[in-house]
Chain A
Amino acid sequence: DAKTTQPTSMDCAEGRAANLPCNHSTISGNEYVYWYRQIHSQGPQYIIHGLKNNETNEMASLIITEDRKSSTLILPHATLRDTAVYYCIVRRSQGNLIFGKGTKLSVKP
């Protein structure tokens, strides 16, 4: 599975949009981009995934560049409860999840 690169940490003001970048320059055509987050000491929580097109659900939006070498997870109105480690993962349809170190997002009042 392709490796991903994420910033170690980011800050975001409460109520503002949080934009979390991810680079996956070696992604293959059959690999999907998945985002999970983990709030301290809890199990990871699935957020969203996509292949080529931008995706949106009740939690977030996923923007994937046309060349698929990078993506951005957008939390439109961050709250204090969104403080967590966010993982960007690239995987095949049946592949297991390979977690990197993720981005520690701190939402501040």
Chain B
Amino acid sequence: KAGVTQTPRYLIKTRGQQVTLSCSPISGHRSVSWYQQTPGQGLQFLFEYFSETQRNKGNFPGRFSGRQFSNSRSEMNVSTLELGDSALYLCASSSGGTSGTYEQYFGPGTRLTVT
């Protein structure tokens, strides 16, 4: 099976702009989670989508939003970019069942730099 893919891999934006990142999960996986990784804060959970609905949400401001399409592909959007939004944004997919455990498989990430 193909792994999780994220596009673009690298992005440079200016403060105040908005950005959209894309994630294609492993075929058959219905859950997509997003994480932000910075040197100072480490890996932090943003939100999880399952069957086009947000199922879990981390502690991030409303400038960070996401959505999931019927084919399980997901996008996350950051509006009014700040310098502190510079980070590696990681997407993880899993089967996302409602019971039992499920492993999350991560993509390579999108490196966002805000200038």
In angstroms, how far is the closest chain A Cβ from the Cβ of B70?
A: 22
Cβ distance A95 to chain B, nearest Cβ, rounded Å: 8
- List the one stretch of B13-21, B60-68, B77-85, B101-109 in contact with chain A: B101-109
Query: Judging by beta carbons under 8 Å apart, are A93 and B101 in contact?
Result: yes
Is B109 a contact partner of A43 (Cβ separation < 8 A)?
yes
Bound Cα distance A99, B38 (Å):
12
How many residues in B have their beta carbons less than 8 Å from beta carbons of A? Answer: 26
Q: Is A49 an interface residue (CB 8 A)?
A: yes
Cβ–Cβ contact B88 & A100, under 8 A = no
Asked if A101 CB lies within 8 Å of chain B CBs, one says: yes
Pairwise interchain contact B109-A96, C-beta atoms closer than 8 A: no
How many A-B pairs fall under 8 Å by CB? 50
- Pick from B43, B103, B105, B108: contact of A99, CB under 8 Å: B43
Is A10 interfacial (CB-CB < 8 Å)? no
Measured CB to CB, the closest approach of chain B to A52, in angstroms, equals 13
User: Quick check: A94 and B90 within 8 Å, CB to CB?
Assistant: no
Which residues of chain A from 19 to 54 have a CB within 8 Å of any chain B CB?
32, 34, 41-46, 49
Are A100 and B42 CB-contacts (below 8 A) given A49-B101, A93-B99, A93-B101?
yes
* A46–B104 CB distance below 8 A: yes
A59 proximal to B (CB < 8 A): no
User: Taking the complex as formed, is B75 at the interface, i.e. its CB lies under 8 A from any CB of chain A?
Assistant: no
Q: Show the binding face of A for B, using Cβ within 8 Å.
A: 32, 34, 41-46, 49, 87, 93-101
* 8 additional contacts (CB under 8 A) given A41-B109, A94-B98, A97-B43: A43-B92, A43-B108, A43-B109, A44-B90, A49-B103, A93-B99, A96-B33, A99-B35
13 A–B contacts, CB within 8 A, in A order? A32-B101, A41-B109, A43-B109, A44-B106, A46-B103, A46-B104, A49-B101, A49-B103, A93-B99, A93-B101, A95-B56, A96-B33, A97-B104
